[in-house]
Amino acid sequence: MSTAGFNSQNGTGTGQAYANGPSQNPVALQQPPGVSYGMTHQPTYNPMQAKAPAPPGPGLYPAGPYQPVPPVSSYQPGPPPTSYPSSPGHPLLPRPPMGGHPSHTPPQSASPSPGPRIPPGQATPPPPAVSSSSYYPNPQQPMAPTWQYNTPTPPLGPATSISAPPVGPVANHVNPAASLSGPSPPSSSAYSSGPPPPSISHSATQPPGPGMPPTSRHGYTQPGVAPPPMNPMAPHTYQGQPSRPAYGTSLTGPPPSGPPPTMKPTPPPTGPPVANATPPPPKADGAVAGNGPQAPNSYNHLDNKMAGPTPTGPPGRHLGHYPSLPPGYQNTSAPHATPPMHPAMQAATQPYTQAPQPYQQPPGGPGPAQLSPSLAAMSLQSSTPEALRVVNLLQERNLLPPTPIPAPTPCLTQDLQKLNCSPEVFRCTLTSIPQTQSLLNKAKMPLGLLLHPFKDLSQLPVVTSSTIVRCRSCRTYINPFVSFLDQRRWKCNLCYRVNDVPEEFMYNPVSRSYGEPHKRPEVQNATIEFIAPSEYMLRPPQPAVYLFVLDVSHNAVETGYLNVFCQSLLDNINSLPGDSRTKVGFITFDSTIHFYNLQEGLSQPQMLIVSDIEDIFLPTPDSLLVNLNECKELVQDLLKSLPNLFEKTMETQSALGSALQAAFKLLSPTGGRMSVFQTQLPNLGVGALQSREDPNQRASAKDIQHLAPATDFYKKLALDCSGQQVAVDLFLLSAQYCDLASLGCISRYSAGSVYYYPSYHHQHNPAQVERFQKDLKRYLTRKIGFEAVMRIRCTKGLSIHTFHGNFFVRSTDLLSLPNVNPDAGFAVQMSIEENLDDMQIVSFQAALLYTSSKGERRIRVHTLCLPVVNSLSDIFAGADVQAITGLLACMAVDRSVTASLSDARDAMTNAAIDSLMSYRQSVLTVQQPGLLAPACLRLFPLYILALLKQKGFRTGTSTRLDDRVFAMLQLKYQPLAYAMLMIHPALYRVDDLTDEGALNINERTIPQPRLLQLSVEKLSREGAFLMDAGTVMYLWIGRNCHPNFLTQVLGVPSYAAVPDNLYLLPELDTAESQRTRAFIGWLRDQRPFFPSLHIIRDESQLKASFMQNMIEDRTESALSYYEFLLHLQQQISK
Ligand SMILES: [Zn+2]
């Protein structure tokens, strides 16, 4: 049999991370490295161990017998993944118990986590019969008054204290005339506790200084402490002394006048962020109870509060039947004859008669409730579907389809599939769900979902309604896959509870007709967005708040990034998503932290320097985040002057940790987005890091060390941020090691993004500069959702356990996303906890509740429906090889960190071995020689080999640690479509593009060259080849490339004349040039980020990068594809 690693993924192995079953441990067993290529012997399965039921473990994923390593799931290194870092006494599942109808409560299912019901007394009164557009049905409702922007927050302790720099002492030194507390605009005094503190502004004493860079700087210096060396302009420096906290910082003269004020730089009472010490958010009318300290917008709570859009009457009489009522009997029990309705209701009695096209169902098929007894029978009734066509991988070399591979279509009736969620948004590794866990275990493929929930969509139905219809038991949103018993009752497709159809829902706003609830947009669209009524808010929706935190050390200035950043923001400042409430702020840092007072009314921005980085505080909390509309000119002034301001700095140190703490304090009252730009290893103050990489060991190390963070500082701070609805995006621009494994935690746990520009330099690396510019433009202008949570529900019997992506898992199925962006992907692993015996279909629903940049609370809901099957061949026929690969990549990243890279590599190899072995043993009826795979999995070994050679997982090749870690981060949070390009780049020949078979999009003709295998064999010296690797593209020019291409596309007379650092195709007025640029532009348009283009010759330095993607070829350290296949075959036939 086979080996360590992924062989155990379904629960029969030696204790591995890829378990699907409840008895499985998501954690890798520390074990001797298993097989690597060429090695022949491996540990065998240990069925006893694998089959042993798991003892109840902490958290959402019961620990298996092999528990030594922290769970992979949800990034909780320790105990319960639900705990916001170990808040003792805080219940794992803070939701209150099911409201007082226990007899109607379905058996507890681990998955859909039924929300509590609202007591009848609190039920929302029945809404008007007609869909209303009232967004705030009850605007007078006193709701979260503390969140009024202009309302002083009552003293709440730590949460609001951040706005409280020393008040008393400071006042002595403030020129009253200069106090910003006077006519300050509403937004400026927001969040301050009590009256605005006498501001520390010295603006009045500062003569408007023409000529200087517009930013005036005032130095507050502690006597005896040298002023910052780089400041020719004597900025304000708040010089605190950590060792003498009681002693106020004195100001050595806010220039040009004034004695040093003895301001007391007492920091806010909150100490350094301790995870469970996060103060409660600005109070939201107490409704947050039970949701942990940090849940100002608890979905849990909302479930509770929202329990009753359908509050009428007693619970349906069918409830009691729930456990024994299989789906599919609705029609027989429907008391009323009903008009033709939703497909689910159509009495489609015809069985599946048509020969099953593997992914296509005959039209007019039955609805979910009326499926013929078993879809599984299909494959027996007919000839083998294409997906199961036997392929001998050793003989069929050219397996790539000519064009990119589409997602498989689930085996559903056309009526259902027509309504199903787009695979671009929601995909499952197995488009046919096994009926039991044991069947899944036999298939040895991972079961999981891949989501791109906030993807930019060209068409998105938006519903404004005061009634959002949800299941009273499990809170599922009504969707196309529910069944209507009659016009007045619908049955939940996740928990099977029968719910009433509210009166309002009887009216269809689209057709303006009454009595057709099944034609409502909610029941016709698997992806839909609701504008939420006020019940979905615990506080008024937050404004868009953007804080930029910029490294201005010598190293940063050297890279030249600051110019690009400032220019990009200037260019896009009017396109930042937001409304009249939008706020912005800036912090720069080197060895000290610099704030910028941008208060309206100032003649120029003021820089305020705090050099006490040990105990960071905000010098003028009210004027650092300002209303963008009101203060736009000051912001623009600042952006124009920033690059010059630090031009000559010699400060080399980086106090990133303190800067992040300061930024956190600034953003805490509102939440928002923090964008951090860092160019070196932080080496000063909290969060300081040391280099952990030995470049000489990159290629030779037996295993890769330091994939895990060196400190928990960044994770803890990220969790604090998450609790205050702050997400941190990290832009890392560096030529040197920056310990991304540690720094990346700040984004990972706060639902941010990481951007990485290795070797960024404004002169030496123009391709990076271009990519940075394009990325920034996208970043600054793309859609953004604030204070978001996402919950994933699935049909009873299925259970979600491990999540992948950037977020914090707040409770078993609730992801906390302070920000959500359209470029973020997520993956979850699932198991089958109860047999799905009586079910023909199951459903999955992802609901993303967020605040739009315009201050609307919205809910985007995606629902995916899949068939249930009971034969292995049907499971295999529905395998989605790309989704499987994407999920395995996520799992392997976790395994690399919790166990080791070699362990993860073994596990990936074994995933291929196990699934093919299972196929051979259980599905193939006629044994034949060779390495056999079903057609739908024919690319699986290739993709696994590609993963093994991918930057994140490769060995034996010199790979910078940060490059490797970044690749791993990307695999975890990139949507599948982009991750697949990273894993298996697309190769095209482009010197002979024609219009044959071209697409025509917006009057543009887009050539469609065919995909080529990633092998040097496919290259030709006479040609030119484009490799699309997702974030980067290479255009390789053959030595004897046809002169026509050189002159007509590259604009050079000869091969020798191709410049070394060419990264842009000239815009020539030739057909060849237009075709090539159209094709490349089209590829780029299909992704939200900007892939840079490198035009390379044989002599180019980047040739190695290009060649490393030739996955099918042998290298010194890795097998060729054919050798890999032989290895798999050897393992399978053992
Ligand atoms: Zn339900």
* CA 534–ligand 1 middle distance (angstroms): 23
* CA 30–ligand 1 middle distance (angstroms): 40
* CA 613–ligand 1 middle distance (angstroms): 52
Residue 74 clears pLDDT 80, i.e. is over it = no
* CA 137–ligand 1 middle distance (angstroms): 26
Q: What is the DSSP letter of 126?
A: P
* CA 831–ligand 1 middle distance (angstroms): 19
* CA 550–ligand 1 middle distance (angstroms): 48
* CA 306–ligand 1 middle distance (angstroms): 14
* CA 530–ligand 1 middle distance (angstroms): 19
Q: Does the CA dihedral 12-16-21-23 come out positive or negative?
A: positive
Q: What percent of the chain has pLDDT over 90?
A: 55
* CA 310–ligand 1 middle distance (angstroms): 13
Of the pLDDT bands very low, low, confident and very high (cuts 50, 70, 90), residue 539 is: confident
* CA 805–ligand 1 middle distance (angstroms): 27
Inter-residue contact 688 to 657 (CB < 8 Å)? yes
Q: What is the DSSP letter of 846?
A: E
* CA 122–ligand 1 middle distance (angstroms): 21
Average pLDDT, the chain: 74
* CA 495–ligand 1 middle distance (angstroms): 4
Distances (CA, A) of 480 to 344, 490, 520, 660, 836: 8, 11, 9, 45, 20
pLDDT in tens, 102-154: 333 333 333 333 333 333 333 333 333 333 333 333 333 333 333 333 333 33
Of the pLDDT bands very low, low, confident and very high (cuts 50, 70, 90), residue 185 is: very low
1082: its two tokens: 């089209």
| Bigger pLDDT: 378 vs 1126 | 1126
Q: Are strands 932-934 and 986-989 parallel, antiparallel or unpaired?
A: unpaired
Residue 465 clears pLDDT 90, i.e. is over it = no
* CA 473–ligand 1 middle distance (angstroms): 5
Q: What's the average model confidence in pLDDT over 787-794? A: 96
| Bigger pLDDT: 365 vs 893 | 893
Q: Which residues surround ligand 1, an ion (CB under 5 A)?
A: 471, 473-474, 476, 492, 494-495, 497
* CA 986–ligand 1 middle distance (angstroms): 43
Run of H or E including 745: helix 745-748
* CA 588–ligand 1 middle distance (angstroms): 50
The confidence score (pLDDT) of residue 157 equals 34
Nearest Cα neighbor of 368 from 323, 429, 318, 420 is: 420
* CA 479–ligand 1 middle distance (angstroms): 11
* CA 474–ligand 1 middle distance (angstroms): 4
DSSP 760-795: --TTT-HHHHHHHHHHHHHHHHS--EEEEEEEEEE-
Q: Which of 39-53, 218-232, 571-585 has the lowest mean pLDDT?
A: 39-53
* CA 368–ligand 1 middle distance (angstroms): 16
The confidence score (pLDDT) of residue 236 equals 52
510: its two tokens: 């689209």
164: its two tokens: 């409280």
* CA 337–ligand 1 middle distance (angstroms): 24
pLDDT in tens, 803-814: 999 999 988 889
The confidence score (pLDDT) of residue 1116 equals 85
Residue 362 clears pLDDT 50, i.e. is over it = no
* CA 481–ligand 1 middle distance (angstroms): 12
* CA 792–ligand 1 middle distance (angstroms): 13
* CA 490–ligand 1 middle distance (angstroms): 10
Token pair 């009522």 in the structure block, residue? 325
Of the pLDDT bands very low, low, confident and very high (cuts 50, 70, 90), residue 32 is: very low
* CA 500–ligand 1 middle distance (angstroms): 12
pLDDT in tens, 624-669: 999 999 999 999 999 999 999 999 999 999 999 999 999 999 999 9
Largest CA distance in the chain: 94
* CA 477–ligand 1 middle distance (angstroms): 8
* CA 496–ligand 1 middle distance (angstroms): 6
Q: What's the average model confidence in pLDDT over 914-928? A: 90
592: its two tokens: 């000290």
* CA 256–ligand 1 middle distance (angstroms): 69
Distance, CA of 322 to chain centre:
36
* CA 529–ligand 1 middle distance (angstroms): 19
Residue 67 CA to residue 71 CA, distance in Å, equals 8
Q: Which of 256-260, 545-549, 826-830 has the lowest mean pLDDT?
A: 256-260
* CA 113–ligand 1 middle distance (angstroms): 9
* CA 796–ligand 1 middle distance (angstroms): 9
* CA 686–ligand 1 middle distance (angstroms): 48
Q: What's the average model confidence in pLDDT over 247-269? A: 34
Helix (H, G, I), strand (E, B) or coil at 730: strand
Residue 279 clears pLDDT 70, i.e. is over it = no
* CA 532–ligand 1 middle distance (angstroms): 20
* CA 106–ligand 1 middle distance (angstroms): 9
Q: What's the average model confidence in pLDDT over 738-747? A: 97
* CA 512–ligand 1 middle distance (angstroms): 28
The confidence score (pLDDT) of residue 49 equals 32
Inter-residue contact 906 to 5 (CB < 8 Å)? yes
Give the Cβ contact number of residue 898 at 10 Å. Answer: 22
* CA 677–ligand 1 middle distance (angstroms): 45
Cα atoms found within 13 Å of the Cα of residue 995, Cβ hemisphere only: 8
* CA 284–ligand 1 middle distance (angstroms): 28
582: its two tokens: 């939008």
Of the pLDDT bands very low, low, confident and very high (cuts 50, 70, 90), residue 383 is: low
* CA 41–ligand 1 middle distance (angstroms): 49
* CA 62–ligand 1 middle distance (angstroms): 24
Give the Cβ contact number of residue 1060 at 10 Å. Answer: 11
pLDDT in tens, 467-485: 899 999 999 999 999 999 9
* CA 806–ligand 1 middle distance (angstroms): 28
Backbone angles phi, psi at 484, to 5 degrees: -95, 125
The confidence score (pLDDT) of residue 825 equals 97
* CA 109–ligand 1 middle distance (angstroms): 11
Helix ranges (DSSP H) in 162-217: 168-171
* CA 458–ligand 1 middle distance (angstroms): 30
* CA 808–ligand 1 middle distance (angstroms): 25
The confidence score (pLDDT) of residue 701 equals 66
| Bigger pLDDT: 589 vs 207 | 589
pLDDT in tens, 935-992: 999 999 999 999 999 999 999 888 899 999 999 999 999 999 999 999 999 999 999 9
Q: What's the average model confidence in pLDDT over 841-868? A: 97
Q: 827: which residues sit within 8 A by CB, 6+ positions away?
A: 448, 449, 450, 451, 803, 804, 805, 886, 887, 890, 972
Helix ranges (DSSP H) in 428-514: 437-443
Nearest Cα neighbor of 634 from 157, 50, 185 is: 185
Q: What's the average model confidence in pLDDT over 1060-1082? A: 92
* CA 517–ligand 1 middle distance (angstroms): 18
Inter-residue contact 128 to 504 (CB < 8 Å)? yes
**Residue type for position 991:** D
* CA 328–ligand 1 middle distance (angstroms): 15
* CA 452–ligand 1 middle distance (angstroms): 24
| Bigger pLDDT: 993 vs 511 | 993
Of the pLDDT bands very low, low, confident and very high (cuts 50, 70, 90), residue 83 is: very low
Residue 1100 clears pLDDT 60, i.e. is over it = yes
* CA 295–ligand 1 middle distance (angstroms): 24
Q: What's the average model confidence in pLDDT over 1003-1019? A: 94
**Residue type for position 1069:** D
* CA 482–ligand 1 middle distance (angstroms): 9
* CA 525–ligand 1 middle distance (angstroms): 18
* CA 116–ligand 1 middle distance (angstroms): 12
* CA 810–ligand 1 middle distance (angstroms): 21
Residue 290 clears pLDDT 50, i.e. is over it = no
Inter-residue contact 301 to 789 (CB < 8 Å)? no
* CA 119–ligand 1 middle distance (angstroms): 18
Strands (E), 598-744: 606-610, 626-627, 672-678, 726-734
* CA 791–ligand 1 middle distance (angstroms): 14
* CA 476–ligand 1 middle distance (angstroms): 5
* CA 973–ligand 1 middle distance (angstroms): 29
Residue 439 clears pLDDT 70, i.e. is over it = yes
* CA 327–ligand 1 middle distance (angstroms): 13
* CA 102–ligand 1 middle distance (angstroms): 15
* CA 960–ligand 1 middle distance (angstroms): 49
Whole-model pTM?
Answer: 0.72
* CA 475–ligand 1 middle distance (angstroms): 6
34: its two tokens: 């298993």
The confidence score (pLDDT) of residue 810 equals 87
